Every structure is written in C-alpha cells, then in structure tokens.
Amino acid sequence: MHDCPTCRVPLHGYEEVCPSCGTRQRVRRSSSSLLNAGPKKPPINLIPFVIVFFVLVAGTLIMAQSSWIGQVMTRGPVEKDPLADLTVEQARQMLTDQINQNLTAVGATGKFTWTVPGGEAPDPTYQGPLELTIDTELSEPDLRRQIIDPVKQYMPKAQIPTLVMNDAKSRATWTYSVQMPKQAASQPVE
C-alpha cells in the first residue's frame, strides 16, 4: 500500500488513477523479477507416470519368471549327483550290498556270478563292463521288483549293462538291461 502523492489518500497499489483526486498513479508490482520470472505454469500430475512405471516393472517381472532368467532366479542350489563321486568298485559293492539286503528282506538268498560280456570270468580288478547273474529262490515271482528296482540306478555307474536274475523255484529268468553312458571324448583311447 501507498498514499497518493497529491491528496495523501491511502491506495492499494493497483489503482492507475486516484479515486479521490484523479491523479495518475504509478503502478508497481510487488514481486521481484528474480523470483517470479514469468507466469506460473500449472503443475504436472505425476500419478499417471508412477502408475505406468509400476505396471511396466510388474509386467517385466511376470514375463521374466516364465523365461530362462526366472528359472535361474527361482531354482535352488544345483544338487550334486551322489553317484558322481563313486568309483566302479564302490558302485559294484553298493549294488551287491543292496541286493543282499533286499533278498534278506524277502526271506531269500542269492548267489552272484560275474562274467565279462564274452562269457569268461573276470579278474577281480576288471574295470570294464560286467554282466551279473543272480541265482535265487523266491517265494513269489513278483518279489523280484522289490529286489532289483531299487538298485537299477547303480547299474550304469557300476558298468553292469545286463543283470540276469534266475528263480529256481518258479523256473523263471528275468533280464534287466540299462544303456551304458558313452565315454567322454576328452578321454584318450588306448
């Protein structure tokens, strides 16, 4: 506010002419040009941009879960194969021990015969593939599944491509075969 220089009537500052005496007034703006450089712009509404951002992030996460990236993120630690560290001798020993336990569980005994695929008896330290023949007497022929099924996993590691089970009581012979894993290409051929 200021007073009119001619009649001393208080003025508000926006009147161009004094209402009392009619003298022209200088109109002064109260704001400085440094703080208010121009007309005030309306503010931007950021909510739509925030919503679009969160929708894009959620969509990316959903799509990533169905891709290989999501599978890598959600899978747990890679479990090591417990049979990978076994030697051939250890795998053969585990196989025969498990078969003996299974035979004892069904009330039977067995005789193990190891042969080389050509038919000759092997050296005890033979490292190549062997065939195993088990001669036994089972009270019921279906008990063979309880004896052999739990040990099939050891057959490739023990290098036993063929396991033959002979049941003298029912005069039956069952042959179990597995595909042997191929030798690694990096191993030298002798």
Total domain count, the chain: 2
What does the mean pLDDT of the chain come to?
A: 81
Query: What is the three-state SS of 116-128?
Result: CCCCCCCCCCCCC
The reported pLDDT for the residue numbered 38 is 59
The reported pLDDT for the residue numbered 190 is 41
Q: If pLDDT is split at 50, 70 and 90, which confidence band does 10 have?
A: confident
- pLDDT surpassing 50 at residue 186: no
Q: Locate 127 and state its tokens.
A: 């490292």
- pLDDT surpassing 60 at residue 188: no
- Report pLDDT digits (tens) over 134-151: 899 888 888 888 888 888
- Report pLDDT digits (tens) over 36-65: 555 667 788 889 999 999 999 999 888 888
44 falls within a domain: no
- Same domain, yes or no, for 25 and 103? no
- Same domain, yes or no, for 106 and 166? yes
- Amino acid present at 86: L
Residue 88 DSSP SS3 = helix
- pLDDT surpassing 50 at residue 153: yes
72 falls within a domain: no
| Residues spanned by the domain of 27 | 1-37
- Report pLDDT digits (tens) over 93-118: 888 999 999 989 888 888 988 888 77
- Same domain, yes or no, for 102 and 25? no
128 falls within a domain: yes
- Same domain, yes or no, for 25 and 92? no
Q: Give all strands of the β-sheet with 162-167 in edge-to-edge order.
A: 110-115, 131-136, 162-167, 172-177
pTM over 0.85: no
**Dihedral-angle region of residue 104 (phi above 0 means left; psi in -120 to 50 means alpha; beta otherwise):** alpha
